[in-house]
Each structure stands twice: as structure tokens, then as C-alpha cells.
């Protein structure tokens, strides 16, 4: 059996730089703010992946902080903003005393939030169960507060500014220590960009001279100073045991310093230089540790996951949260979603793809979700303000979008949009928590069913994604706690057993109505919707996962099927495609997965937008698992027709070319 594969390489995204990060340790959620002021919530409990993207932020984001599962930010708009993670938008704004705000810090035990402003004020807020209440303002200092941190007890605040670090007693509002950093030979001002505080009140600072400084917070004196970098240190963080500090900045070298006890006097400690890591080529703006893992990000937009020992480096590219590609298989259309637009292409074998539509929101808002029906006659897109449904017509061989109104009084802003394979049903997941089933066969599209999984106590967290059976009879949704609920013909049908692991992708196989689920620990389950039980293949598979598959570093983000062979399941992540044949023998745990280059199941054809390749002996091995490793930043792999597949990639070289020219040769590293 062979397939022709279109390798789409013109999906071009901008390398969206990372500005700041914050870790919620209990639930292992990593909040990342990017240059376009969007916020991504990553779940890093197993394989890291994006759970939620917040586009509707107010102004810039200069700092992020968690309090339990509540997320706060500050920015140049001069407010502390709390976010509603279900509706994916700001929940409340709390103005500060004056001017812009550059930094914030949360003390979890005392339930307090501190924010530092451009004109030198420190605003203290009390964090209550449902709101943030303004508490007090500290004495005003000269100049901008560029960084702020609480000590362990919550009795003191430490701030960094030009030439100075101050230690504040919160109860009195006064500064009790003023630590002077000094200046370089040119007498240029020294800006303290970042701070950390240990349990024994050692203050660690990184500044614009590239110096890492250690201070005694109790006595207000300098302990040690190291010229760790050639330029500004923009970020530093402590390991969880507080014996290692990591730092990086405009000089992207990530340096670490380790606390060691002096020989003969165990009470005396010294910070000594340890290992160095070259992970990024551009500015590193933020560092966060989780266990023995160091997360770093900056101008290049990649989220790097590294550790030593053992030596591990994984870099997650700056891509949109899936799905960002949809296919209209009957007419061979491909939809590509961008942050501010949606494009529709016609794919032809051996010919250049033709752009049919370049759709942009009339209001200039961000695109949250978009999809196209299999017959190419319906196009749906949701922005931050509304859901838009269009009828797609060809007039004089030119595509035209005709706006169609959906009769509803509900707010239909959605983050999940799915058409059934027969193009008769549209299912959306709204930010209000509803799942709406829209009948497209009626003269005017109307909502046929509305499911309220939260009010009916089926869901206990936000809706994550939706899958629909071929004819729209079965609707499947799951939340962020991996609760999978099925509705059949407009009524609640069943709830699947819950695993304490996030789901990254689901799909319903046409014909069989088998639901395939893939979790972030890479375990795969197949559930028969008609018989309401796991299939025999799924039960057998649980004891035969190859270790090579379970140890992969990227989460599965799309599932495809073979229309000619119901025993074939195709999964893909960022760099590989896994082909599962349920009729073949399940592998041993220790056995390597045979490579499948381009023959047997898939063969490629040469042409514009396509590729070709030769087979490999390993592809002849009889095994239920075969893997294709020939892609980089693979965002989608799916069936265009019975004999064609589409692989959509974002070129790493293209991302690198779009980075600032002046920074690529910084310090002689490329």
C-alpha cells in the first residue's frame, strides 16, 4: 500500500519571543508571555504541551505570577490583572498608585502580592478568595523598580533599580538597607535586572554589567561578586534546594554557581562557578526550575527544557496551540491558521498550491479557532469577540465567502470548532463552557443541541477539545482533568474512566466509531463508542509499549486514519509520525521501533509541495509499530484523500532567518 505525501513548507510563522515565565509548582503549570502579549499555559507534568492560550490581554505583559491556580500579570498599562482561565480573558483589573508597572512577586503563605512601578512605588495587595484588595504603599524611592522579590518569611521585600538594591520592612514601609552595586569603568549606570532570595536571606542579583552579586540581607553587606557574563544578566533563578543559581541574559550563556561548604568550617559557605550551557543563540529573558529541570526562553521564541546530570536538551518551537491546520478532503482544500489571519489553499499533485482565501478579522482581533467542512462549503472562525460562519461558494472560478447568521442569543465565542465528516453538523466549544451542536442542513443554521457539562457535573475543569463522529451522532469532549464525556443523538451517553494524566489528542475513526485517545505520557487507548468498552487491541497494547515511544519528548497533537484500512492509526508529534497496524504483532518493550522511510505504507511523489524518498530495510520488519523520522516542526499529518497525505511543517531555518539580524552574531556564536 502506498500514499502520496504533500510536504507543505510554506506555513510561515513569526518567531514570537518569550518575555517572561512563571511556574505553578503544585499543578506544574508554566505560564509564558510572548512578544505579542499573548499568554500560553503549558502543562509540564508529563510531556510539556500547551493547554490554554490567552489572546485578549490588556496592554503589555512585563511580569507574571501564580497564586495557586490564579494567574496575575502587570504591564505598562499600570494595573495588576487577574485572568479567567476558563474564558481565556482578563477577569479583573486593579490600578496601582501611579505610572507603569514592571515587576511583581507573590508570597504564598501571607497571601500578598507586591508590584513595583516606574516611578519607584511598591504597591501591596492582599489576595482574597475571589478578589485582590489594595493594602498599602511603601515609601517612594528614586527611579524605576525593575525587579522585586519577597524573602521567605514575608516580612521583607527586596527591590532592584539603578545602581541600588533596597531591603524593605513591610510592616513599616521603610527601607532598612541600601546596597550599592557600583558602576563600570565608563561610569555608566548599573541596572539591577533580576533578583532571587534564599531561605538564609542571601540576596542574589544580576545586573547590566554582566555581574552576578551575592549579598547578606541581614547585615546589608556584599558577600561576593562574579563577572559571569559579557553583557546584561536579564534573569536568574534558584534550584529547588537553593544550592545552585542559574543566570543568563543578553549574553545567552546559561551559567550556574553552586553553594559549597568550606573545608574545615562547614558553617562557612562559598558560591563557586559550576557548569555552563549554550542553549540559545539570542537573549535569554527568563529562567525557571522545576525539580532538576531548567526551563529557559527568550528572543528566539523556543522554550528549552534542559538538565544536567543527566545531560538532556529539548527545545519546543514557537508554534500555535493545535489544531492550526484543517483539511477539506473532498475538494483538497487546506486551511492554515495564523494569529491574525486564516488562509485557504487548493492542493494539486505536481502543481503549485493555489491560495483561495486570505481571511482577516474585520476588527483586527486574534483568531482563536478556525475550521473548514470536508466538502469545502462551510468555513467557521472565532475571534475574541464572536463566532463567524461563512458559506464558501465558487463564482466564476473565484471563491467567495457569504456570511451566514446563526440564530442564537448565546455568546458563541469558541476555542474549539469541529465539522462532522459528512459536513452536516458543526460542533463548537464556547468560552462559557457550553458545547453547541449546529445543524447546517436547515435553511438557516440553528443550534440543535446544547450541552452544559459543568452544570451537569460531567466536567470539573475547562473544556480542552472536541471530537465528532462521521455523521455527527457521537460528540466527545474532554476537560483539563482528562474527564472524557460522550453524548449520543443529543443526550448524555457515557463517561470514560479517568486517568491522572493530560490528554493531548483525540479522534473518532470513521466507520468503526472507535475513539482513539493519546495522553501526554504517550499511552494510547482505543474505546468503542457503540459497545461502550475498550477494544481488545487497546487492552493488549498496555503491556507492549516500546520504551522508545514512551520516552519521546514531544506530545502527540494529531491523529489520522486510513480510509482503506481500518486497522491503521497514524499519530504525529513535532518530529515523527507513528504508524500503528493493529493486525501486526505487538512489539516487545525493549525492541526499537522499525523505521519507515517512504515505502510500504507511505511513498512520496516528487513535485511542487511534495517530496520523494527511498525505502529502508527496517520498514520490512513485521511490527504493529513503525515510525517515520524525517520531519522538523511537524504541525500536522493527515489524509487529504484515499491516496494522499499532507505533512505541514514550519521550517526551523525560516524561523531563524526572521530573528533580529543584529543579535545573531552576538559574542561570536551562531
pLDDT digits (tens, 9 = 90+) for 399-458: 899 999 998 888 899 999 999 999 999 999 999 999 999 999 988 899 999 999 999 999
Spatial separation of the C-alpha atoms in residues 111 and 104, rounded to whole Å = 13
Mean pLDDT, rounded, for 594-610: 51
* 618 phi, psi to nearest 5 deg: -65, -25
Please give the residue that has the higher pLDDT: either 668 or 73.
Answer: 73
668 pLDDT higher than 70:
no
Sheet containing strand 367-372, edge to edge, reads: 367-372, 378-383, 387-395, 398-404
Confidence (pLDDT) at 318: 97
Query: Per-residue confidence at 197, pLDDT binned at 50, 70, 90?
Result: very high
302 pLDDT higher than 70:
yes
**E strands in 250-366:** 254-262, 265-277, 284-290, 293-298, 303-307, 312-316, 325-328, 333-337, 342-346, 354-359
Q: What is the pTM of this model?
A: 0.94
Query: Per-residue confidence at 470, pLDDT binned at 50, 70, 90?
Result: very high
Closest among 340, 335, 420 to 370, alpha carbons compared? 335
Closest among 658, 62, 74 to 318, alpha carbons compared? 658
Answer yes or no: are the C-beta atoms of 298 and 663 closer than 8 Å: no
Confidence (pLDDT) at 570: 96
Please give the residue that has the higher pLDDT: either 57 or 417.
Answer: 417
Confidence (pLDDT) at 442: 87
Query: Per-residue confidence at 582, pLDDT binned at 50, 70, 90?
Result: very high
Confidence (pLDDT) at 67: 96
Distances (CA, A) of 334 to 4, 292, 377, 378, 566: 16, 42, 13, 13, 24
Q: In sequence order, what are the beta bridge partners of 43?
A: 29, 49
Query: Per-residue confidence at 525, pLDDT binned at 50, 70, 90?
Result: very high
Helix, strand, coil percentages in the chain from 3-state DSSP, rounded to 5: 5, 50, 45
Please give the residue that has the higher pLDDT: either 621 or 311.
Answer: 311
Answer yes or no: are the C-beta atoms of 233 and 194 closer than 8 Å: yes
* 132 phi, psi to nearest 5 deg: -115, 125
Residue-wise pLDDT for 165-188, tens only, equals: 999 999 999 999 999 999 987 789
540 pLDDT higher than 90:
yes
505 pLDDT higher than 80:
yes
Q: Are strands 644-649 and 4-8 parallel, antiparallel or unpaired?
A: parallel
Closest among 325, 345, 342, 341 to 609, alpha carbons compared? 345
- Residues 6 or more apart in contact with residue 363 via CB below 8 angstroms: 383, 385
Confidence (pLDDT) at 665: 54
Confidence (pLDDT) at 363: 77
Residue-wise pLDDT for 333-345, tens only, equals: 999 999 999 999 9
607 pLDDT higher than 90:
no
Confidence (pLDDT) at 2: 65
Query: Per-residue confidence at 268, pLDDT binned at 50, 70, 90?
Result: confident
661 pLDDT higher than 80:
no
Query: Per-residue confidence at 19, pLDDT binned at 50, 70, 90?
Result: very high
577 pLDDT higher than 60:
yes
- Residues 6 or more apart in contact with residue 123 via CB below 8 angstroms: 80, 96, 97, 101, 114, 115, 117, 134, 137
Spatial separation of the C-alpha atoms in residues 401 and 33, rounded to whole Å = 34
Spatial separation of the C-alpha atoms in residues 22 and 72, rounded to whole Å = 10
635 pLDDT higher than 90:
yes
Confidence (pLDDT) at 130: 86
Under DSSP, the state recorded for 407 is: B
**E strands in 431-535:** 435-439, 446-451, 463-468, 474-479, 484-488, 491-495, 503-508, 514-519, 524-528, 533-534
Answer yes or no: are the C-beta atoms of 207 and 192 closer than 8 Å: yes
Spatial separation of the C-alpha atoms in residues 508 and 419, rounded to whole Å = 12
Confidence (pLDDT) at 428: 97
Rg of the chain over Cα atoms, rounded to whole angstroms, equals 27
Average of per-residue pLDDT values in the chain: 91
662 pLDDT higher than 70:
no
613 pLDDT higher than 70:
no
In the three-class reduction of DSSP (H, G, I as helix; E, B as strand; rest coil), residue 473 is classed as coil
Mean pLDDT, rounded, for 126-153: 94
Spatial separation of the C-alpha atoms in residues 355 and 346, rounded to whole Å = 6
- Residues 6 or more apart in contact with residue 647 via CB below 8 angstroms: 5, 6, 7, 8, 577, 631, 634, 636, 637
Amino acid at each position: 500500500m502506498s500514499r502520496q505525501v504533500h510536504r507543505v513548507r510554506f506555513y510561515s510563522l513569526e518567531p514570537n519571543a518569550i518575555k517572561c515565565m512563571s511556574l505553578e509548582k503544585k499543578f506544574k503549570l508554566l505560564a509564558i508571555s510572548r512578544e505579542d502579549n499573548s499568554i500560553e499555559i503549558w502543562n509540564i507534568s508529563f510531556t510539556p504541551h500547551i493547554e490554554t492560550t490567552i489572546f485578549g490581554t490588556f496592554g503589555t505583559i512585563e511580569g507574571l505570577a501564580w497564586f495557586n491556580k490564579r494567574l496575575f500579570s502587570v504591564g505598562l498599562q499600570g494595573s495588576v490583572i487577574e485572568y479567567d482561565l476558563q474564558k481565556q480573558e482578563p477577569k479583573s483589573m486593579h490600578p496601582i498608585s501611579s505610572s507603569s508597572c514592571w515587576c511583581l512577586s507573590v508570597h504564598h503563605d501571607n497571601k500578598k502580592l507586591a508590584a513595583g512601578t516606574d516611578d519607584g512605588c511598591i504597591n501591596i495587595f492582599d489576595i482574597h478568595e475571589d478578589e485582590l484588595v489594595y493594602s498599602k504603599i511603601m515609601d517612594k524611592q528614586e527611579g524605576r523598580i525593575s525587579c522585586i522579590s519577597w524573602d521567605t518569611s514575608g516580612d521583607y521585600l527586596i527591590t532592584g533599580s539603578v545602581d541600588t538594591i533596597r531591603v524593605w520592612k513591610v510592616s513599616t514601609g521603610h527601607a532598612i538597607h541600601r546596597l550599592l552595586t557600583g558602576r563600570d569603568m565608563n561610569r555608566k549606570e548599573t541596572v539591577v535586572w533580576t533578583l532571587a532570595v534564599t531561605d538564609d536571606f542571601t540576596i542574589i542579583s544580576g545586573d547590566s554589567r554582566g555581574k552576578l552579586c551575592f549579598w547578606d540581607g541581614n547585615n546589608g553587606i556584599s558577600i561576593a561578586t562574579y563577572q559571569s557574563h559579557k553583557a546584561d544578566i536579564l534573569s536568574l533563578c534558584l534550584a529547588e534546594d537553593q544550592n545552585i543559581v542559574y543566570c543568563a541574559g543578553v549574553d545567552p550563556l546559561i551559567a550556574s554557581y553552586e553553594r559549597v561548604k568550606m573545608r574545615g568550617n562547614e558553617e562557612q559557605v562559598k558560591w563557586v562557578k559550576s557548569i555552563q550551557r549554550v542553549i540559545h543563540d539570542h537573549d535569554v529573558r527568563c529562567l525557571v526550575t522545576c525539580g532538576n529541570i531548567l526551563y529557559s526562553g527568550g528572543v528566539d521564541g523556543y522554550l528549552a527544557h534542559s538538565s544536567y546530570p543527566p545531560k538532556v536538551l529539548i527545545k519546543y518551537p514557537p508554534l500555535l496551540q493545535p489544531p492550526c491546520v484543517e483539511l477539506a478532503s473532498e475538494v483538497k482544500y487546506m486551511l492554515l491558521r495564523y494569529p491574525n489571519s486564516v488562509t485557504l489553499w487548493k492542493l494539486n499533485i505536481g502543481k503549485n498550491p493555489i491560495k483561495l482565501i486570505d481571511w482577516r478579522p474585520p476588527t483586527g482581533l486574534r483568531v482563536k479557532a478556525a475550521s473548514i467542512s470536508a466538502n469545502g462549503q462551510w468555513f467557521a472562525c472565532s475571534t475574541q469577540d464572536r463566532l463567524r460562519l461563512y458559506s464558501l461558494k465558487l463564482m466564476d472560478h473565484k471563491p467567495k465567502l457569504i456570511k451566514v447568521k446563526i440564530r442564537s442569543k448565546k455568546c458563541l465565542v469558541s476555542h474549539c470548532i469541529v465539522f462532522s465528516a459528512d459536513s452536516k453538523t458543526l460542533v463548537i466549544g464556547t468560552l462559557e463552557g457550553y458545547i453547541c451542536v449546529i445543524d447546517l442542513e436547515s435553511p438557516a443554521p440553528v443550534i440543535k443541541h446544547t450541552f452544559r457539562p459543568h452544570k451537569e457535573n460531567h466536567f470539573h475543569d475547562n473544556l480542552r477539545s472536541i471530537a465528532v463522529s462521521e455523521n455527527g451522532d457521537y460528540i466527545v469532549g474532554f476537560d483539563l482533568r482528562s474527564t472524557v464525556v460522550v453524548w449520543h443523538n443529543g443526550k448524555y451517553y457515557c463517561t470514560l474512566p479517568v486517568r491522572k494524566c493530560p490528554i493531548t489528542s483525540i479522534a473518532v475513526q470513521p466507520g468503526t466509531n472507535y475513539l482513539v485517545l493519546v495522553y501526554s505520557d504517550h499511552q494510547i487507548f482505543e474505546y468503542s463508542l457503540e459497545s461502550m468498552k475498550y477494544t481488545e487491541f487497546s487492552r493488549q497494547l498496555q503491556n507492549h509499549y516500546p520504551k522508545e515511544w514512551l520516552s519521546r519528548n514531544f506530545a502527540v497533537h494529531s491523529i489520522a486514519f486510513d480510509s482503506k484500512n481500518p486497522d491503521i492509526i497514524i499519530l504525529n508529534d513535532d518530529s515523527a509520525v507513528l504508524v500503528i497496524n493493529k493486525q501486526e504483532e505487538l512489539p516487545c518493550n525493549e525492541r526499537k521501533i522499525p523505521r519507515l522511510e517512504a515505502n510500504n505504507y507511505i511513498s512520496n511523489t516528487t513535485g511542487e509541495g511534495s517530496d520523494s524518498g527511498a525505502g529502508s530495510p527496517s520498514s520490512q520488519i513485521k511490527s504493529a509499530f513503525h515510525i517515520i523520522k524525517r520531519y522538523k516542526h511537524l504541525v500536522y499529518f493527515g489524509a487529504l484523500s484515499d491516496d494522499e497525505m499532507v505533512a505541514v511543517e514550519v521550517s526551523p531555518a525560516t524561523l531563524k532567518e526572521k530573528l533580529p539580524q543584529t543579535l545573531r552574531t552576538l559574542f561570536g556564536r551562531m
